[in-house]
Amino acid sequence: MATLNESLSKISEIDGFIGACVVDSNSGMMLGSEGGGAAINLEKAAAGNTEVVRAKRKTMDNLGLKDEIEDILITLNKQYHLIRPLSSKEGLFIYLVLDKARGNLALARFSLSDIEKSLTF
């Protein structure tokens, strides 16, 4: 089992890593972060992506879909933005930003899934 800080440290080892945080989708506030810096303001990203998660959940409810979000991918010209709701802790999600040229999306998705399984609060 890994703490939040240990898990964020493991996420930072993913190829192409720019920044990551764990976010409470009820409040939009970050519980912890790693990286980001001048490349991306993780606090603003956390708040904005909370709206993305809420909108997708609302849409799923409106469609009567009885399923769970595994992840949400937003592809930009130079970056991948990956949102992964935590199955172990409802209302929380991991937000990861990768450099598209240096990152491996399939490996990043696998790594996030693996890291999520060991995350404890």
Q: Would you state the pLDDT for residue 100? A: 97
Q: Would you state the pLDDT for residue 88? A: 86
Q: Would you state the pLDDT for residue 31? A: 96
How much is the pTM?
A: 0.95
Question: Which CATH number do you get for residue 104?
Answer: 3.30.450.30
Q: Would you state the pLDDT for residue 121? A: 75
Residue with tokens 């693996």: 114
Q: Does residue 28 contact residue 112 with C-beta atoms inside 8 Å?
A: no
Domain count, the chain: 1
| Blockwise average pLDDT, block size 10, the chain, 121 residues | 93 98 96 95 97 97 96 97 94 97 96 92 75
Domain range enclosing 97: 4-118
Give the C-alpha distances (Å, rounded to integers) separating 67 from 14, 38, 39, 56: 28, 37, 34, 12
Q: Would you state the pLDDT for residue 64? A: 98
